[in-house]
Amino acid sequence: MTRILFVCTGNVHRSVLAERLLAARLPPGAVLRPESAGTEAWHRSRMEGTTQAVLEELGGDAFGFASRPLTAQLVEGAALVLGLAREHREAAVRLAPSAMRRCFTLKEFVRLAAGEGAGSGGELGAVVQAAATRRGAAAPVPPAEDDIPDPWGRPRDELYECALEIDRAVSGLVDLWGGTRRRAW
C-alpha cells in the first residue's frame, strides 16, 4: 500500500474530508491508501456531525473515522504528505525534515504536479519528485492561494464550500494519474 497523508489542525474537518473524499474517488483495488492526522488533534476524537453530513452528501464514507495526532512516524511512512494549509506542511517537515521533498499543501501539489514537466499518468513517486523539483522553479503565488481556510466554528455553508474546494483538489489528484477516477495508482 502506498500511503498519502493529509494534515490539518484538529483532524476533524479538512484533513478527514480530503482523506475520505479521495478514498471515494479511487477505483476499487487502488494501491493508494489515504490517511489523515492533525497537528493539534486529540487521539480518537470523532468527526464533527456537520462535517460527517457534508462528507456523506458529497459521496464520502465516515464509517470508522477516529482522529489522531500528527507524528514523525506518520510523516516518515507516507509517500506524500499534503497539508491543508502551509502551517500543516511546515509542521510535518519539522517532525521529519528528511520528508521535506514529499511535503506540500494539497493545492500546491496539484498546481505543481499539473505543471509542465510533472507528467500525467505517472507513478506517484515520479510525480512527487517532479513536483518537488518544480517547486523551486515555479513562480511564487500569494500564500493564501495554497491554503484551504479552516471551517472550525463557521456556518455550515462555509464548511460546505470548504468541502467543495477540497473535493476539487482531490479530484485534481486523481486526474494527475491519467485523467480518470478509474485508474489505480
Residue 122: pLDDT band by 50, 70, 90 thresholds?
low
Helix (H) or strand (E) holding 37: strand 32-38
Domain range summary for the chain, segments of one domain joined by +: 2-176
Q: Give the distance, in angstroms, between the CA of residue 68 and the centroid of all CA atoms in the same chain.
A: 15
Band the pLDDT of 119: cuts 50, 70, 90: very low
Task: Name the band, by pLDDT with cuts 50, 70 and 90, for residue 151.
Answer: very high
Q: Where are the alpha helices (DSSP H) in the chain?
A: 14-25, 49-57, 72-77, 86-95, 106-113, 124-135, 156-176
Cell output for 81: 504528505
Mean pLDDT of the chain: 90
Overall CATH class of domain 2-176:
alpha beta
Cross-sheet strand order for the sheet of 80-83: 32-38, 2-8, 80-83, 103-105
pLDDT tens per residue across span 86-113: 999 999 999 999 999 999 999 999 999 9
| pLDDT at residue 184, rounded to an integer | 35
Question: What's the pLDDT score for residue 46?
Answer: 83
Confidence of residue 177 (pLDDT cuts 50, 70, 90): low
* pLDDT at position 62: 95
